[in-house]
Structure 1
Amino acid sequence: MHALQYELTLPADYDMDVVRGRVARIGHLLDDFGGLGFKTYLMRERGVHGSPVNQYAPFYLWNTVEGMNSFLWGGAFQGLVDDFGRPEVRQWTGLAHEEGVAADSDVAVAVRRRQGVPDGVVLAEVMEEAVRETGRLAAQDGAVLAAAAVDTHRWELVHFSLWDHDTPPAEGEVFQVLHLSAPGRKALPRGRQW
């Protein structure tokens, strides 16, 4: 399992209906994309859910590296690059994934929390705690799913969760979910990934 995200931070006066319209037009194109667990078309709007910025920031969980590479190099990603420029694409190795207690519900928001892995810690203990946190998030009322992943270049953990309501109990940045493409969500491995 591999996590991927890019962020397009837009001007403070940017008309976010342009992003909504783009997702409405093209969001369905990945609804059956091979190797994709899910893609959440995420948006933060200045002043909504405490966001200081306007941002388009899709988040992906991939079942296969081939699927991720096909997306990046096979043409699908090029449309975004042509429209907005080439963003920095962050990638994390999957640690855990759990379906939530509200797994069959519609998704309203996503929460992403990034945290550094400090020096001098026992890495196995930190990663096991990330796995436990994934389970705790998934067990909360309204949780659709939860996942954790790690970037070993920056030594950064990311906790990602989807919720069926606008006021999730998870800590982190809250994003509006404009669309969810989930062709391989049921095939995503559950639990600890090693």
Structure 2
Amino acid sequence: MIAMNYRFVLPADYDMAVIRQRIASKGHLLDGFPELVFKAWLYADIHSQTWPATQNVYAPFYLWRGSGGMRQFLCSPGFAALQGDFGRPDVLSWIPLYQHVGTSVQQARFAVRELSAIPSSLALAGLEQQQQQWLDTQQQRGALASISAFDPQHWQLLRFTLWAAPVELQPQQEGYELGYLAQGQAVSGAA
């Protein structure tokens, strides 16, 4: 599995209706995409009546079953069009430690992303144990999907959750509204 995300921070006066329209017209195009578990079409809007943000952001998040689907998407005409509209983003990727995507994930309307440094003093076995506990806690809190992943180049930890309703954010967390959740090809025998 691979978690992937890129973000475009937009001007404060940017018309976020453009992003919502982009999601409405293009969201379904990734339904059934090979090796995609899901793509969360995320945005943050400083003028949102539901979950106001500190900046306007367009930030799609992906969970891939493998690198083949990720490569196919990044080399696709759709990603080329995104680059034409917004420029080439820094594409961040992480190796999932633990992930859970619930059967009611289509009810998700909000997402929380948290990035933090992994201390060099923390053994990876200890990190795994911490993240399993974190994942269990998120499920108990009602998260519809939870992903804990790490980047071993920059030693960065990602925690990502999908929710049906807004949740209280901690200072290091970013909240997003979810415009559409695309789901990839079903895999035989997958839960």
Aligned length: 187
Q: TM-score, normalised by structure 1?
A: 0.88
Q: In structure 1, what is the Cα distance between the partners aligned to 2:182 and 2:126?
A: 33
Match for residue 93 of structure 1?
Answer: 95
Equivalent residue, structure 1, for 2:15:
15
CA distance in 2, matches of 1:110, 1:178: 10
Q: Which runs of 4+ in 1 moved over 4 A?
A: 184-190
2:68 aligned with 1:66 = yes
Q: Give CA deviations for 1:33-91 in whole Å, capped at 9, x if unaligned.
A: 01100000000112543521100000000012100000001332111001111010001
Structure 2 gap segments, 5+ residues each: none
Q: How far apart, in 1, do the equivalents of 2:74 and 2:53 lie?
A: 28
Alignment partner, residue 58 of structure 2: 56
Distance 2:29 2:137 in 1: 33
Measure the CA separation in 2 of the matches of 1:187 and 1:44. 35
Query: Which 5+ residue runs of structure 1 have no aligned equivalent?
Result: none
In 1: Cα distance, 2:71 partner to 2:184 partner: 16
CA distance in 2, matches of 1:98, 1:38: 12
Equivalent residue letter for 1:127:
E
1:96 touches 1:134 (CA, 8 Å); kept in 2? yes
Task: Give the aligned partner of residue 174 of structure 1.
Answer: 175
Matched, 1:28 2:28: yes
CA distance in 2, matches of 1:128, 1:8: 33
**Root-mean-square deviation (Å):** 2.1
CA distance in 1, matches of 2:137, 2:188: 21
* C-alpha distance after superposition, 1:115-144 (max 9, x if no partner): 110122212101221122112102213x21
TM-score (norm 2): 0.89
- Number of the residue aligned with 2:153: 153
Do the aligned partners of residues 106 and 132 (structure 1) sit closer, same or farther apart at CA in structure 2, a change above 3 Å counting? same
